[in-house]
Chains A and B, each alone.
Chain A
Amino acid sequence: MPDDPSFTSRRRFLQWSAVAVPALAAAGAPASGQAPSADDRPTFFSASEWAFLRAAAARLIPADALGPGALEAGVPEFIDRQMATPWAEGRLWYMQGPFVPDAPPTLGWQMRLTPRDVYRLGIAAADGWTQDRHGRVFAELDPAAQDGVLQAFESGKARFEQVPAAIFFAMLLGNVREGFFSDPVHGGNRGLAGWKLIGFPGARADFMDWVERDVAYPLPPVSLSGQRG
């Protein structure tokens, strides 16, 4: 496998991006400071849910030396928009019984709850659990405490009544990733922060000029909307 030239060049590409991406991100950081549009007016989430979502997103992909994090990239807005899709109402899944919680993952979703329900019940349970343990809701904790709480959700150590904490956490993390790396036309990945971070060139359709040349792809990413990162 290491003899495979595509493997080596891919590895070189990754090595390159480890150096170049932070540089690009740093260069692009000022440009990505756009005014958050829907941050203050979510359509699905209540004010307290919104505060939780923003705080959790900011910890799952934090802003750091590598560039903006999930909050700056508009991920909460992405998830709010996601809640208006058929997926969020469970309409893309088989949603009738039997529900077998310990069925292997290949057998699909095993809950009666739709993603909307998971968020609504999950955020309420999460803030309740945090209130019990720390005397404050999640958004009001300091970052280190928030990380500890999120770890308790992820491992399932935290017990929620209506939706398992681990399932809630997994959905949240998955959606945060989607929001960070999907095209900015969907509300997240603002300023193409996610794509700049990993060196993904975006929707440019054709890279014939760059195959077999063994040079780094030099162009910034581009969104479906035509926006350049």
Chain B
Amino acid sequence: MKRRWPLQRLKRLLIGLVVLGALGFLAVLGYAFWPTHTRAIAAPASAADAALIERGRYLALAGDCTACHTAPGGKPFAGGLALASPIGAIYSTNITPDRRTGIGGYSLDQFDRALRHGIRADGASLYPAMPFPSYARLTDEDVRALYAYFLHGVVPVAQADRSPDIPWPLSMRWPLALWRKTFAPSPDAVAFDPKRYPDERVARGAYLVQGAGHCGSCHTPRALTLQERALDESGAQYLAGNQIIDGWNAINLRGNPADGLGRWSEQDIVETLRTGRNPHAAVVGSPMADVTVHSMQHLADADLHAIAAYLKTLPPVPGAGPGFAANDATAKALQAGINDSRGAELYVDNCAGCHRTDAKGYSRVFPAIAGNPTVLAREPDSLVRLILGGSSMPATVAAPSALGMPGFGWRLGDAEVAALASYLRSQWGNQAPPVASGLVARIRAEMPGENHASEEAAHAR
């Protein structure tokens, strides 16, 4: 026997639900629109002070502001670069000191609110394409320096910002405030404390990596809600990599010996950031090549060493992962003319000319495959993309040769690329799971449609 609900009672229940829903929505709206209070910071004696401007210029380099705020072929810092998102492109803004279209009218505190808090001068929230959760670590002094640089060291450009392509109602900004208030740290809560680190050098490195450098924007895994799973070494996933940026895998920067930097020396890291290559590995893929060219190569030696020293303090990601235990069996077989798998044949016919049968390549010219984090990464996207389309090392001041690898997608089928990649990940002591030809097919299908907008999007992410 079913008990029938009296009509009156049902009606009351429905009204109750609607009222509750409305109240809940109002509460969420209230939370979103409740103004964020930010601490005012004292202005420097003179914002036009040359030393302060120079310090700001250097920080802007370390932060690679130009990566997003300068469009290809555009004027420096005038914005307009499209950053793709699944719901439509957004465009970076003009941060030149033009009073009408740029940030010339910003006060120091308004600048600070944008930079460290993610709040526009009109109170709306910025898209987190702007890495304000990382910049929250910047000291007051460095915020002042950046302000001085952008107001007095940058040429004003009159170029109006372009509104996002995102259609209404997705274009409403108040949900961004919810994200910001939930996930972005308050600068005062994460104020940088050098005493947490063993020495000044490591502390300087930590400050650059976590703050201006915002390395975690690409190299730290993100949660479903898109916040980085850790903003400093207190989280075991900090800089643990395997984030796909413009199709390229941002590698694990922690101490894992195979897919991380565990077997890299401090000098290896410094050379990579300065020249795009080191004796056994190289920068692979356009995102990090851009970071090397526009940002890292210009930093002071002491700072690059500090960054490397800090990265070397990060322990491996716990748990089983790719491994490496140098083993010359593969090299010996290949050098005896034994090609006993399709992978071995493909390696000898396509790769060994440069990377050698010992997979050690030629120092600083052709990277080693044995023990290379790009080859051994948990997510093999970079390896597959590299085989299909090739890549070039960045041309840097210290190493101007943009040595390149051609793509082999025109002569290798999906199954062949998968066999080859699986071979690379399982020989010479490399121990990483095989690659499926379905992944190769998916990446190949992505490649022709690539455009600059989607490539640049990840810089901001």
Interface residues of chain A, those whose CB is within 8 Å of chain B, are 204-206, 208-209, 217-219, 222, 224-226, 228
Q: Does B89 contact A (CB under 8 A)?
A: no
| Minimal beta-carbon separation of A191 from chain B (angstroms) | 16
Interface residues of chain B, those whose CB is within 8 Å of chain A, are 334-335, 337, 339, 345-346, 348-350, 352-354, 356-357, 408, 411-412, 416
- Chain B residues contacting A217 (CB-CB under 8 Å) are 337
User: What are the 6 closest A-B residue pairs judged by CB atoms, nearest first?
Assistant: A205-B353, A218-B337, A206-B353, A226-B411, A222-B349, A209-B335
Q: Which among A206, A218, A222, A225 is the interface contact of B354 at CB below 8 angstroms?
A: A206
Contact of A225 with B349 in the complex, beta carbons under 8 Å: no
Looking at chain A's contact residues, is the secondary structure mostly helix, strand, loop, or mixed?
Answer: loop
- CB closest chain-A residue, reference B416: A226
Given contacts A209-B357, A228-B345, contact A219 B337 (CB under 8 A): yes
Given contacts A219-B339, A226-B411, A226-B412, contact A209 B334 (CB under 8 A): yes
* Complexed CA–CA distance, A165 and B345 (Å): 47
- Chain B residues contacting A226 (CB-CB under 8 Å) are 346, 349-350, 408, 411-412, 416
- Chain A residues contacting B354 (CB-CB under 8 Å) are 205-206
Contact of B353 with A204 in the complex, beta carbons under 8 Å: yes
Contact of B411 with A206 in the complex, beta carbons under 8 Å: no
- Chain A residues contacting B337 (CB-CB under 8 Å) are 217-219
A-B contact pairs, 21 of them (CB 8 A): A204-B348, A204-B352, A204-B353, A205-B354, A206-B352, A206-B354, A208-B356, A209-B335, A209-B352, A209-B357, A217-B337, A218-B337, A219-B337, A219-B348, A222-B349, A226-B349, A226-B350, A226-B408, A226-B412, A228-B345, A228-B349
* Complexed CA–CA distance, A204 and B347 (Å): 10
| Minimal beta-carbon separation of B3 from chain A (angstroms) | 74
| Minimal beta-carbon separation of A13 from chain B (angstroms) | 15
- Chain A residues contacting B416 (CB-CB under 8 Å) are 226
| Minimal beta-carbon separation of A27 from chain B (angstroms) | 15
- Chain B residues contacting A218 (CB-CB under 8 Å) are 337
- Chain A residues contacting B357 (CB-CB under 8 Å) are 209
Besides A204-B353, A219-B348, 19 new A-B residue pairs in contact (Cβ under 8 A), listed by A number: A204-B349, A205-B353, A205-B354, A206-B352, A206-B353, A206-B354, A208-B356, A209-B334, A209-B335, A217-B337, A218-B337, A219-B337, A222-B349, A224-B411, A225-B411, A226-B346, A226-B411, A226-B416, A228-B345
| Minimal beta-carbon separation of B362 from chain A (angstroms) | 10
* Complexed CA–CA distance, A222 and B346 (Å): 10
- Chain A residues contacting B345 (CB-CB under 8 Å) are 228
* Complexed CA–CA distance, A66 and B86 (Å): 62
- CB closest chain-A residue, reference B358: A209
Question: Which of B337, B357, B412 has the most C-beta atoms of chain A within 10 angstroms of its own C-beta?
Answer: B337
- CB closest chain-B residue, reference A225: B411
* Complexed CA–CA distance, A97 and B379 (Å): 66
* Complexed CA–CA distance, A225 and B408 (Å): 10
| Minimal beta-carbon separation of A31 from chain B (angstroms) | 14
* Complexed CA–CA distance, A224 and B339 (Å): 19
- Chain B residues contacting A222 (CB-CB under 8 Å) are 349
